Structures are given as C-alpha cells and as structure tokens.
C-alpha cells in the first residue's frame, strides 16, 4: 500500500479502563470512529475488583468491576468504537500541529490524527524475595479480589496510605487477624481512615517495619520483616500478604515522547488533557496522582475525547506523505 492510500484514523485510544472506554464512547458519538488498542487484559484494574459501590447509577449494591467494564466497552461499541485486543508496542508521536502519529501493535502500524493515552496504572511491587514466586499463592495486590480465600486465617497488609487502610478494614471481615505493616510510625492515610482501622477489633498495626522476604512452599507461610529504625528482624506466621503501597502509571511506551513527571505520570497542560505533543491527549490513572477513582478516570476520558474532537475541528491536517517526507519522528 502506498502512503497516500494508508488509512489515517481520527482517533486512536491506547488503554481500556474507564478513561479509555469513556473516551471511546464520546469520540464514537462524535462520529470519529475511534480505534481502541485495548490490550489483552482489557478493562484495567477494575477487572480485578468485586463490588463497585461508588460508581453512580448502580443502586442496590453497586456493580461488579468486570461487569461495569463490559458495559462500558459495549456502550462505546454500539456507537462505532472498534477494538484491537492486543498491546500497543511503540508510539511515534508527531511534533507538528496537524501531523500524523503512529501507534504500533507488533508489526502493524496505525496512523492517527489524534492519540488518547489511557494506559492506566498497575499495582506497585515491593521487589523483595518471594513476592513474585508466591504471587497467587498467598501474595496479592487486591484484598477486594482475594480476601475471601483467607477466611479465618492470619494476614498482613503492607502500606500506610488510604488504600492500605481500606483494604485492611475489608480484609478484617474475613481474616482471623490482620496486621498492617508500615515502614514509618506516621501514616500517609487520612486520619479518618486510620481511626476507622484502629476501631476494628481484629486489626493491629506494626511499625516501623518493612517486609524483606515472603517465604513458604507451595503457599505463603511467613513474612520476614525488618525494623526500619533499628534494623532488627522478626518473622510473622501468615497465610496471606496484601501489598497496598501505591500504583505505577503504565507510561513506559510514551516515556520518551511526552513529558513524564518524577513518578512516571504523564504531564498534561493546565486543566486540559493536552500533552506537549499536538494532537496527543492523556487521561485517567496515567495522569492522576491523587483521585484515582473510576468516576474521575471516566470524567477525564470524556475531557480527552472533547479535547481531541476540538483539535480535529480546529487544526488543519498535514497529509501523511508530506509528514513522512518532512518529519523525522
Ligand atoms: P499512597 O497514598 O501513595 O500510599 C502508599 C503507601 O505505601 C505509603 O504509606 C508508603 O509509605 C507505602 N510505600 C510505598 N512504597 C513502599 C515500599 N517500597 N515499601 C514499603 N512501603 C511503601 O497510595 P494509596 O494508598 O494507593 O493512595 C493513592 C491515592 O488514592 C491517595 O491520594 C489516596 O488518598 C487515594 N485513596 C483514597 C481512598 C479513600 O479515601 N477511600 C482509598 C484509597 C485510595 P510512606 O508513607 O513511607 O511513603
């Protein structure tokens, strides 16, 4: 196919959490026929969640995370969104207003006038021995997913933020005892969350400690801890360890293309979803340090869709052939 015949998409969306699917819904309704590179495990972190009770519109107990994502995906598809259930492997983003961007999926290249980055975030790992080996065999990153496997068994939560408190309170409904292990004596979590956790009878705090190894074969049996103040070590007998130490934005494929902050989040301009590349927008947990909610991700996906729509309306396009000749992206 010659470059002049190469189809150029209006919008390619990379990622498929609430931000990606909401961007798909809005751009589909604007007749832009978005192409969504949704990954193999589409749906983002909500696929690992059970009840979602704080997404508006689902009274009477909320909705299961995977069901919510299936609905979002289907709703965008009804209006013409198209999906590639594969991973984006490379981005080549133009620097020119009206330029053509490339989204690579293995050997396939998709050309686009606008790109919406919505790759989300993943659970941060401790990086200690046994963590990977015992993943799914006692070590978990999602109490809401896995707490029920530890009914009447002792567990630990690692972390001192709001996520750790929330997970600990939930986990305590199942476990015989939950120990919150945190590396400092002060908590990053809001006072109200720490107070709530302190009120739970079968929940204890152990500070300032950090895990140095998870052990057991074939299932997790112990966690080795080091006191971060005096270096002393101790071991706890446990069946489950839940790690809630924050998230890592999945910005690696865009890292050399758009501005990324010290924590790996994509930087957007002002209140918009614009990145420093014309026609490239970013939304959801990829951008958001603070709120990280399904509803806020969906809201920013909507903003990115509108920003992309306005950009397409207002920016004269550079033909692909001209772009190929003139640009070195
Ligand atoms: P976070 O606030 O960044 O807290 C991460 C915690 O993990 C911190 O206590 C941190 O310790 C600890 N940590 C990080 N790396 C570690 C390591 N390598 N080893 C040991 N500990 C480590 O993350 P989050 O709790 O996921 O919360 C993220 C955002 O979502 C926050 O803005 C939070 O308020 C919000 N959120 C709100 C709610 C709610 O209000 N219901 C629920 C969940 C999340 P240090 O403190 O020592 O750095």
pLDDT, tens digit, for every residue of 68-107? 999 999 999 999 999 999 999 999 999 999 999 999 999 9
pLDDT value for 115: 98
Q: Are 199 and 192 spatial neighbours (Cβ–Cβ below 8 Å)?
A: no
Query: Over 90: is that where the pLDDT of 228 sits?
Result: yes
- Ligand 1 pocket list (CB less than 6 A): 126, 159-164, 166, 183-184, 188, 210, 245-246, 290, 292
C-alpha 145/C-alpha 89 separation (Å) is 29
Q: Are 25 and 33 spatial neighbours (Cβ–Cβ below 8 Å)?
A: no
Ligand 1 centroid–CA 313 distance in Å is: 40
pLDDT value for 134: 95
Mean pLDDT of the 164-190 span: 96
Mean pLDDT of the 200-214 span: 98
pLDDT value for 295: 96
> What residue owns the CA closest to ligand 1's atom 38?
162
74-85: per-residue pLDDT in tens? 999 999 999 999
How many percent of the chain have pLDDT more than 70? 95
pLDDT value for 321: 62
Ranges 192-206, 241-255, 294-308, 315-329: which has the least confidence: 315-329
Q: With the C-alpha atoms ordered 141, 144, 150, 155, is the resulting torsion angle positive or negative?
A: positive
Q: Are 212 and 226 spatial neighbours (Cβ–Cβ below 8 Å)?
A: yes
Residue 184 CA: nearest ligand 1 atom is 47
Q: Are 138 and 240 spatial neighbours (Cβ–Cβ below 8 Å)?
A: yes
Who has greater pLDDT, 235 or 320? 235
35-58: per-residue pLDDT in tens? 999 999 899 988 877 678 889 999
- Give me the chain's average pLDDT, please: 93
C-alpha 254/C-alpha 239 separation (Å) is 38
pTM as predicted: 0.80
Choosing from 122, 214, 245 the residue with most ligand 1 atoms within 8 A of its CB, the one to mutate for a pocket test is: 245
Reported confidence tier of residue 124, pLDDT bands at 50, 70, 90:
very high
pLDDT value for 322: 53
pLDDT value for 144: 78
C-alpha 285/C-alpha 22 separation (Å) is 13
C-alpha 148/C-alpha 125 separation (Å) is 22
Q: What are the angstrom distances between the C-alpha of 240 and each of 34, 126, 133, 140, 309?
A: 42, 15, 14, 8, 47
C-alpha 55/C-alpha 185 separation (Å) is 33
Query: Over 60: is that where the pLDDT of 326 sits?
Result: no
C-alpha 21/C-alpha 46 separation (Å) is 12
Reported confidence tier of residue 1, pLDDT bands at 50, 70, 90:
very low
Tokens at residue 33, please?
A: 């026929």
> What residue owns the CA closest to ligand 1's atom 18?
126
Q: Are 149 and 170 spatial neighbours (Cβ–Cβ below 8 Å)?
A: no
146-164: per-residue pLDDT in tens? 898 899 999 999 999 988 9
Active site members:
142, 145-146
pLDDT value for 318: 86
Query: Over 90: is that where the pLDDT of 5 sits?
Result: no
* Buried b or exposed e, range 26-35, using 16+ CB within 10 angstroms: bbbbbebebb
Query: Over 70: is that where the pLDDT of 9 sits?
Result: yes
pLDDT value for 324: 45
Query: Over 80: is that where the pLDDT of 234 sits?
Result: yes
Q: Strand 121-123 and strand 247-249: pairing?
A: antiparallel
Residue 166 CA: nearest ligand 1 atom is 42
> What residue owns the CA closest to ligand 1's atom 19?
126
Please report the DSSP string for 136-182 in residue order. Answer: TTTEES-HHHHGGGGTTSEEEEE--SHHHHHHHHHHTTTSSEEEEE-
């Amino acid at each position: 196919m010659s470059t002049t015949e190469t189809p150029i998409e209006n919008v390619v969306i990379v990622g498929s959490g609430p931000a990606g699917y909401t961007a798909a819904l809005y751009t589909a309704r604007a007749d832009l026929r978005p192409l969504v590179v949704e990954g193999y495990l589409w749906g983002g972190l909500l696929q690992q969640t059970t009840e979602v009770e704080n997404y508006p519109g689902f009274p009477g107990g909320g909705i299961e995370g995977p069901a919510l994502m299936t609905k979002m995906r289907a709703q965008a598809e009804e209006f013409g969104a198209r999906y590639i259930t594969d991973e984006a492997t490379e981005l080549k983003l133009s620097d020119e207003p009206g330029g053509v961007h490339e989204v690579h999926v293995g050997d396939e290249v998709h050309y686009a006038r606008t790109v919406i980055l919505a790759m989300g975030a993943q659970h941060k790992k401790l990086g200690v021995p046994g963590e990977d080996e015992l993943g799914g065999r006692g070590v978990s990153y999602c109490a809401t997913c896995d707490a029920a496997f530890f009914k009447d068994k002792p567990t630990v939560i690692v972390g001192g933020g709001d996520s750790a408190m929330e997970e600990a309170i939930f986990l305590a409904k199942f476990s015989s005892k939950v120990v919150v292990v945190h590396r400092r004596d002060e908590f990053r979590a809001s006072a109200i969350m720490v107070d709530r956790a302190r009120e739970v009878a079968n929940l204890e705090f152990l500070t300032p400690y950090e895990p140095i190894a998870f052990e057991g074969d074939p299932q997790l049996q112990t966690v080795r801890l080091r006191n971060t103040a005096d270096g002393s070590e101790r071991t706890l007998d446990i069946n489950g360890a839940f790690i809630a130490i924050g998230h890592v934005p999945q910005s690696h494929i865009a890292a050399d293309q758009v501005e990324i902050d010290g924590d790996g989040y994509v930087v957007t301009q002002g209140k918009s979803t614009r990145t420093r590349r014309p026609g490239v927008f970013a939304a959801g947990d990829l951008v958001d340090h603070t709120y990280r909610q399904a509803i806020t991700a969906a809201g920013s996906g909507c903003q990115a869709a509108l920003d992309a729509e306005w950009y397409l309306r207002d920016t004269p396009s550079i033909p692909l052939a001209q772009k190929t000749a003139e640009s070195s992206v």
